[in-house]
Amino acid sequence: MSFPLLTATAVLPAVGAIATAAVPAARRTAAKWLALLFSLATLALAIAVLVRFDPDGDRYQLTESHSWIAEFGVRYELGVDGIAVALIALTAVLIPFIVLAGWHDADPLETGSKRWRPTQGFFALILAVEAMVIISFAATDVFLFYIFFEAMLIPMYFLIGGFGDRAHEHGEKTAATQRSYAAVKFLLYNLAGGLIMLAAVIGLYVVAGNFSLTEIAEARADGSLDMATSTERWLFLGFFLAFAVKAPLWPLHTWLPNAMGEATAPVAVLITAVVDKVGTFAMLRFCLQLFPEASKWATPVVLVLALISIIYGALLAVGQRDIKRLVAYASISHFGFIIMGIFAMTSQGQSGATLYMVNHGISTAALMLVAGFLISRRGSRLIADYGGVQKVAPVLAGTFLIGGLATLSLPGLAPFVSEFLVLVGTFTRYPVIGIIATFGIVLAALYTLVLYQRTMTGPVKPEVATMPDLRVRELAVVAPLIALLLFLGVYPKPVTDIVNPAVEQTMSDVQKKDPQPEVEAAK
Amino acid sequence: MSASAVHSLWTTAATAADPITKIDAPKFEYGQMSPTLIVVGAAIVGVLVEAFVPRKARYHAQMFVSVVALAAAFAAVVALAADGYGTTKARIAAMGAIAVDGPALFLQGTILLAALVGLFTFAERRLDPAAHGNRVDSFAAQAASVPGSDSEKAAVRAGFTTTEVFPLLLFAVAGMLVFPAANDLLTLFVALEVFSLPLYLLCALARRKRLMSQEAAVKYFLLGAFASAFTLFGIALLYGYAGSMSYARIAQVVDGSAIDITPALADTMGNDALLLVGAGLLVMGLLFKVGAVPFHMWTPDVYQGAPTPVTGFMAAATKVAAFGALLRILYVVLPGLRWDWRPVMWGVAIVTMLVGAVVAITQTDIKRLLAYSSIAHAGFILAGVIATTPDGVSSVLFYLAAYSFVTIGAFAVVTLVRDAGGEATHLSDWAGLGRRSPLVAAVFAVFLLAFAGIPLTSGFAGKFAVFKAAAEGGAAPLVVVGVISSAIAAFFYIRVIVLMFFSEPRPEGPTVAVPSPLTVSAIGVGVAVTLVLGVAPQYFLDLAGQAGVFVR
C-alpha cells in the first residue's frame, strides 16, 4: 500500500491543533511557533501532493479507500483532481501567512483564569480548520465531505466569536456583542444550509444506495442510475443551497460582512479565502457531477443570482465606511464571478472560475492582511479615520495598493487572467450576462481606488502621523503573497495546466460542449 | 414460540371446567431473567441495609450493593448476548411474560450502563459544602421533614442523608429492564408502575429548593397516574378485543390469523372499536412516558424541580425504556394496524419536533431548556419509530444509546455550576463560564453540539441513522421537518455556547464546584461515548443492527 499522502496532509494540521492546544498557558510564544511549524510542514506535504499529481493521469489520483461506517454505506474515500489539488495548495499556502499575520491577535488582554489560554486556542482552531478544509477538498465520499463541511463551522465559529480586533471604535463591550452576533449569524446561516443539505444527502442515499461520488457519477453517466427529474431537482437544490450559503451567493450572503467585519483580519482571510472556497468547489464537484440535468435546469436562475451578487456586492462595497466590510462586499462580488464561471458551462468559464478561486484567495489575503496591519496600528476600521498614510508608511501603502489593484483585476496581476477567462467563458454562451457582469469590474476599480485615495493619500491626519511602517514579520507575510500575484499574473500556466483536464472532465459530466463560433453555427 | 400460545391467565379461564391439576407449574427461566432478578434482589438487599446497617455505614454499603448489582446485571446481559440471544436466537421467558430478544437485551444493556453512570452522580457528596461536618449529597436530609422546619434543621445537624435513593434507583431500574422486554400487557403495566413510583419519590427529594422539588413530584405523580390509568384502560379494552394479554396473541387476532379461538370468547372478540380505542389509549400512556407532544406538559416542570442527578437519570433511562416498550407495542402487537397508527404517529412526531425546538428558544433556565430539548429529541426518535423497518428499530436503538449518555453527562455538568443557593441554573448565571472554567465549559459545549447533531459527535450519527431510516421507510417529509427543527434547535444550543464563551462573566457569578471522581467519571464517560459514537460508530451500529429483530 502506498503512503496515504492526502490523509497525512489533512492529519498533520489536526495533530498540530492538538499539540498547540496542549501547550501550557505560560508558553504562549512556543504555541505560536509550533503552529507555524505545523502549517509549514503541511505546506510541504501539499507541495508533495502537487508534485505527485499528474495532470494527464487518471481523473482522481492519490486515492485512498477504507471502510468506515458500513451500516450507512459510508467509506473513507479520498482522491484529488486538478481542481482539488489547486485548492489544497492554496489552503496550505495561505495558512502559514494567516498564522504569521495573526501572531499577536490572540495575546490575552486581561488576566483571566490561569487555565484560560486564548492564544493556544486561536492557533489550534486555525489548524483545525485547515485540517477540515483539506479533507473536504479531498473527499470523494459525499458523506465524508458533508461531515467535515459541517464540522468546520464549529472552530470557525469560535474563531469569529472569540477573537476580535484589539481596539474598537465603540469600545470592547459593544465589540463583544457585535462579535458574538456575527458568530451566531455565521453559524446559523451555515448550519441551516448544512441541515437542508443533510436531508438531500439522505435523499441521495435512498436513491443511489451509496455515497461514493465516483460510483454515483459513473452510474449517472452510463444511465444505470435513473433519477426522476423532480427528485434530481430537489436533491440539487438541497446541495446547492448549502453551497450557496457558504460561497456566499446573493441573497444568502448577509452573514459574510458581519463575520469578516468583526473577526480579526487573519480570520477574515481564513473565512473568505479558504473556507468559502469549499462552497464554490463543492458546486463544481458535487452539484455538477451528481446532478448534471438539474444543474443545467437551474443555470439561468443561478446565473442571474451570480450577476446580482457581482453588481450588488460591488455597489455596496462602494458605499462602505468600514475597511473590512468593504473587502467583504468585494468578496461577495468576486464570488459572483466564480459562480457565474462555474455555471456558464464552458471550459473557459470553469477553468477561469477555478483559477479565480486560487487568485481571489491570494489577492484578498494580501489586501485584507495589509488592511489588518493598518487597522491594528490606528485601532479603527473606519475609512474616515485615515488619510495620508502613504507619506508616513510608504511600504504599507504600496502593498495595500498592490492588493487593491489585484482585487480590481489589473492586467499583470493574477486575478486579471481568471476574471478575463470567466467573462469570456460566460460571453460565448450568455452574452448579455457577460456584458452586464463587466460593469462589476468598473465598480471594483471605483471602490478600491476610492479606498486607497481616502486612506493613503491627502494630508496626513494627526492620528496617523506616528504610524510605523510594516515590520519584518508583516513584510514576511505580504511580500510572498505579492510575488505570487505577480508570478501568476504573468505566467498562470502552472495552475491552468493542472486545472484544465479536470474541468474538461466536469464538462463532459454535464454533457456540455463549448459553443462553436457564430460563423460555423450559421452554416 | 409455543410458549407464547400458553398463558396462565386466559387458559385457566377458558378451561374452567377442567380439574385444577391441569394447570402447568409455572416455568421460570432464571438464566434468561437474570439481569432483572439481580437488580430486584439488590434493591431488596438495599431495603434491608436501610433497616439493619448503622446510619454511618449505609452510604458505603448502599454504594457497594448498587454498583455490584448494576455491573453484575450488565455482565449478565453481555453473557446472554454472547450466548447468541438477540442475534441468533430469541426466547420468550417466564410463561410468555418476558421477551429475551435483541432489542430487549440492547436496551437493558443501555439502561444498566446509564443507571451505573447515573448512580455515580447520585452518590456525589463533594459539591455542597459540608453541613455541620457531614458530607452531603443532592438529596434531602430527611424526606419526611417539612421544608424549613425545625425537624429539617435537626436532621441536617445530625448529618442524616437519604440513602434510600439507592434502592429506589434499583427498583426503578428493575422496572425499566422489564418494560421494554414485557411480552404481555399486564407485565407491561406492572413494569410501568414499578419504575414510575420510585421516580415520583426520587423527584421529591432535592436538598435545595425543596418546595419546587416536591411540587415537581406531585405534578409528575398526578399526571403519571393519569397516564397509567389511560394505559390500564387501553389494556382492558385490548383484552376485550383479543381475549388475551399476550402480545403475540393480540397480534394474531389483529392480523386475523388467530386459530383455536375459544368459543366462549369468539362472539365478543374482534370488535374494531375496542382495538382502536384500546391501542390509542395504550400508546398514549407510552407517549406520556416518552415526553411526546401533546403529552409533554410534565417534562419541563419535573426536569427543573427534580434533583439534577435524578433528572439526568430519568431523562436518559426512562426514555430508553419507554421507547423500547413503544417499539415493541407498535412492531410486535400492532403491525397489522400500521395504516391506522402511522398517520397519528406522523402527526405526533412532527408536532413533537417543532414544539420542542420552538419552545426551547424562550427558556431561561438550563434545566428547562434541556427538558424541551429532550422533547425535540423524542420527536426525532419517533421519526425512526415510524419507519417500520428493521433499520428503523436499529436506528432507534442506536439513538437511544447515544442520547442517554449525552443527557446524563450534560445534567452532571449542570450539578457543578453552583452559587450560594445550590445549583445556578438560570442561563444568565452561565455567562462567561468559559473564561472561568474552560474545561467544564468545553465539555458542556461538546454535549450541546451533540444535542444539536453536529458531525463527529454521537448526536449526528444518531440523527443520521434515524433520518435515513425514516427516509427509506417512506417518511421523507418527516425528515424535512426534522431537519428544519434541528436548525431551530441549533439556535438555542448555540446560544448557551455563546453565553459561556463570548459573554463577560458576572462579578458575583456562580462558581464551579470541584467534584469527586464519581461525577468526573460520569462526565468522562459521557464525553468519551459522545466522541467515540461520533467518530467511529460502526461497531455500535452493527450491534444495534444485529439486535434489531423482535421476537414474537
Q: Are A150 and B537 an interchain contact pair (Cβ–Cβ within 8 Å)?
A: no
pLDDT number for residue A170: 60
Characterise B293 by phi-psi region: left (phi > 0), alpha (psi -120 to 50), beta (else): beta
pLDDT value for B63: 92
Residue B327: how many CB atoms within 10 A of its CB? 24
A112, A117, A206 ranked by CB distance to B472: nearest = A206
Alpha-carbon distance of B255 to B249, in angstroms, equals 10
For an interface test with B, the pick among A69, A145, A245 (most B C-beta atoms closer than 10 Å) comes out as: A69
Which residue range is the domain that position B19 belongs to? Answer: 2-128+164-546
Q: How far apart are CA A380 and CA A394, in angstroms?
A: 19
Which cell numbers hold the place of B476? 421523507
CA-angle at A484, arms to A407 and A20, nearest 5°: 100
The per-residue pLDDT for A518 is: 57
Whether B494 contacts chain A with CB within 8 A: yes
Amino acid A517: pLDDT: 60
Q: Which pLDDT belongs to residue B15?
A: 46
Asked if B436's CB is within 8 angstroms of A202's CB, the reply is no
- C-alpha distance from residue A409 to each of A255, A370, A447, B26, B222 (Å): 25, 18, 12, 89, 73
Determine the distance from the C-alpha atom of residue A480 to the mean position of all C-alpha atoms in its chain, rounded to a whole number: 19
- Match 439502561 to its residue by C-alpha cell: B111
Cβ pair B520, B397 in contact under 8 A: no
For A124, half-sphere exposure in the C-beta direction (CA atoms, 13 angstrom radius) is 20
Residue among A176, A191, A202 whose CB faces B502 most closely: A176
Q: Is B135 an interface residue toward A (CB < 8 Å)?
A: no
Question: Among all residues of chain B, which has the CA nearest to that of A191?
Answer: B487
Mapped to the 3 state alphabet, what secondary structure does A216-256 carry?
A: HHHHHHCCCCCCCHHHHHHHHHHHHHHHHHHCCCCCCCCHH
Mean pLDDT of chain B: 87
3-state secondary structure of A262: helix
Does pLDDT of B43 surpass 60? Answer: yes
Q: What is each CA distance from A91 to A17, A22, A259, A357, A406, in whole angstroms?
A: 16, 24, 19, 11, 19
Angle, CA A106 vertex, CA A103 and CA A110 arms, to 5°: 135
Across the interface, do B480 and A199 touch by the CB < 8 Å criterion? yes
B305-330 residue pLDDT tens: 999 999 999 999 999 999 999 999 99
DSSP for residue A283 = I
A69 chain-B contacts, CB cut-off 8 A: 461, 537-538, 541
The residues on A that touch B, with CB distances below 8 Å, are 67-72, 112-113, 115-117, 146-148, 150-151, 153-154, 157-158, 161-162, 173, 176, 179-180, 183-184, 187-188, 191-192, 195-196, 198-199, 202-203, 205-206
Residue A206 to chain B, least CA–CA distance (Å): 6
- Min Cα distance A20 → chain B (Å) is 16
Closest CB to B483: pick one of A113, A173, A199: A199
**Residue B42 pLDDT exceeds 90:** yes
Residue whose C-alpha is closest to residue A62's, from A119, A124, A125, A140: A140
Given a cut of 50, is residue A91 above it in pLDDT? yes
Q: Would the CB atoms of B487 and A153 count as touching at under 8 Å?
A: no
pLDDT band of residue B174 (cuts 50, 70, 90) is very high
Residue A327 phi, psi (nearest 5):
-65, -35
Mean pLDDT of A418-422: 87
DSSP A76: E
Beta bridge partners of A296: none
Range scoring the smallest mean pLDDT among A66-70, A75-79, A400-404: A66-70
**B17 burial level (CB within 10 Å; 0-12, 13-18, 19+):** exposed
- The CA-atom distances, in angstroms, between A32 and each of A96, A98, A127 are 11, 12, 11
pLDDT at residue B14, as a whole number:
45
Give the DSSP H or E segment for B93: strand B91-93
Report pLDDT for B348: 93
Give the per-residue pLDDT at A172.
65
Quick check: B476 contacting A, CB < 8 Å? yes
Smallest CA–CA distance from B472 into chain A, residue? A206
Q: Where are the domains of chain A?
A: 5-516
Nearest to B538 among A70, A150, A173 (CB): A70
- DSSP for A312-374, please give it: HHHHHHHT-SBHHHHHHHHHHHHHHHHHHHHHTTSHHHHHHHHHHHHHHHHHHHHHHHHHHHH
Subunit contact B541:A195, Cβ cutoff 8 A: no
Please say if the pLDDT value at position B364 is more than 70. yes
The angle formed by the CA atoms of residues B320, B180 and B385, to the nearest 5 degrees, is 65
Nearest to A154 among B454, B468, B480 (CB): B454
Nearest neighbour of A191 by CB, restricted to B471, B490, B545: B490
Interface test with B, best of A18, A76, A154 (most B CBs within 10 A): A154
In terms of pLDDT, which residue wins out, A426 or A522?
A426
Task: Round the average pLDDT of chain A to a whole number and report it.
Answer: 84
pLDDT value for B494: 85
Min Cα separation B502/chain A (Å): 6
Task: Choose among A150, A176, A183: nearest Cβ to B454.
Answer: A150
DSSP state of B184: B
Angstrom distance (rounded) from CA A169 to CA B369: 36
Asked if pLDDT for residue A1 goes beyond 80, the answer is no
Does A517 sit behind a cis peptide bond, omega within 30 degrees of 0 on the bond before it? no
Q: Does B507 touch chain A (CB under 8 A)?
A: no
- Mean pLDDT throughout B509-525? 87
How many CB atoms are closer than 10 A to CB A479? 14
Give the residue-averaged pLDDT of A66-78: 82
Residues in chain A within 8 Å Cβ distance of B483: 195-196, 198-199
Mutate which of B397, B483, B488, B496 to test chain A, going by most A C-beta atoms within 10 A?
A: B483
Q: What is the pLDDT at residue B373?
A: 92
pLDDT of residue B11: 40
What is the distance between the alpha carbons of residues B105 and B422, in angstroms, rounded to a whole number? 38
B545 touches chain A (CB under 8 A): yes
| Grid coordinates of B316 | 436518559
Cβ-nearest to A151 among B437, B456, B502: B456
| Chain A CB within 8 Å of residue B84 CB | no
Q: Spell out which residues of chain A touch residue B495, defining contact as CB-CB under 8 Å.
A: 184
Domain membership of residue B146 (yes or no) is no
Model confidence over A93-144: pLDDT tens digits? 999 999 888 887 777 765 554 556 678 888 889 999 999 999 999 988 888 8
Shortest Cα–Cα distance, B130 to chain A (Å): 26
pLDDT value at A386 more than 60: yes
**To the nearest whole angstrom, how far is the Cα of A68 from the nearest Cα of chain B?**
7
Distances (CA, A) of A299 to A237, A250, A429: 12, 15, 12
Residue A512's pLDDT is 67
ipTM: 0.82
CB pairs under 8 A between A and B: 105
Q: Are A292 and A229 in contact (CB under 8 A)?
A: no
Q: How far apart are CA A409 and CA B166, in angstroms?
A: 73
Share of chain B above pLDDT 70, in %: 95
Q: Which grid cell sits at A205?
A: 442515499
Which of B1, B76, B121, B234 has its CA nearest to residue B517? B121
Cα B37 to Cα B41: distance, rounded to the nearest angstrom? 6
Q: Is B491 on the interface with A (CB under 8 A)?
A: yes
CA distance B83 to chain A (A): 23
pLDDT in tens, B263-280: 767 666 767 888 899 999
Contact (CB<8Å) B479/A199: yes
Residue B349 confidence (pLDDT) above 90: yes
Closest CA to A76 of A158, A25, A4: A4
User: Across the interface, which of A180, A196, A205 has its CB nearest the CB of B483?
Assistant: A196
Least CA distance to B503: which residue of chain A? A176
| Contact yes or no for A442/A69 (Cβ under 8 A) | no
Q: Rounded CA gap, A333 and A315, in Å? A: 9
The answer to whether position B422 is within a domain reads yes
Q: Taking the alpha carbons of B62, B66, B72, B76 in that order, is the dihedral positive or negative? A: positive
Take residue B493 and report the three cell numbers written for it: 444550543
Q: Is the peptide bond before A415 cis (omega within 30 degrees of 0)?
A: no
Least CB–CB distance from A202: residue in B468, B487, B491: B468
Q: Which residues of B touch A184 (CB under 8 A)?
A: 494-495, 498
Give the per-residue pLDDT at B19. Answer: 52
CB atoms within 10 A of CB A360: 29
The Cβ of residue A513 has, within 10 Å, a number of other Cβ atoms equal to 10
Angle at alpha carbon of residue A301, lines to A295 and A302, rounded to 5°: 60
Average pLDDT value for residue range B74-92: 85
Which chain B positions have a beta carbon within 8 Å of A11's beta carbon? none
User: Mean pLDDT, to the nearest integer, of A416-430?
Assistant: 87
d(CA A275, CA A293): 27
**Which residues have CB under 8 Å from B481's CB, separation 6+?**
B349, B350, B353, B354
User: Which residues have CB under 8 Å from A195's CB, separation 6+?
Assistant: B483, B484, B486, B487, B490
Cis peptide before B167 (omega within 30 of 0): no
With CA atoms as reference, the chain A residue closest to B452 would be: A191
User: b or e along A447-469 (b: 16 or more beta carbons within 10 Å of the residue's beta carbon)?
Assistant: bbeebbeebbeeeebeebeebeb
* Size of chain B, expressed as the number of residues it contains: 552
Q: Average pLDDT in the B532-551 region?
A: 86
In a domain, B140, yes or no: no
Count of CA atoms in the C-beta half-sphere (13 A) of A337: 38
DSSP string, B285-328: HHHHHHT-TTS-THHHHHHHHS-HHHHHHIIIIIHHHHHHHHHH
Read off φ and ψ for residue A433, nearest 5 degrees. -65, -40
Task: Check whether B510 has a pLDDT greater than 60.
Answer: yes
| Interchain CB distance below 8 Å, B483 and A173 | no
Contact B464 A202 (CB under 8 A): yes
Residue in B455, B465, B479 closest to A151 by CB: B455
Task: Write down the residue that cell numbers 492564544 correspond to.
Answer: A119
Q: What is the rounded CA–CA span in Å between residue B137 and residue B207?
A: 8
- Report whether pLDDT(A167) > 70: no
Structural domain count, chain B: 1
Nearest C-alpha neighbor of B304 from the set B384, B348, B350, B368? B368
Cα B132 vs. chain centroid, distance in angstroms?
36
Q: Which of A147, A153, A205 sits opposite B468 (nearest CB)?
A: A205
Q: Quote the pLDDT of residue A227.
A: 78
Q: CA B103, CA B89: separation in Å to the nearest integer?
A: 12
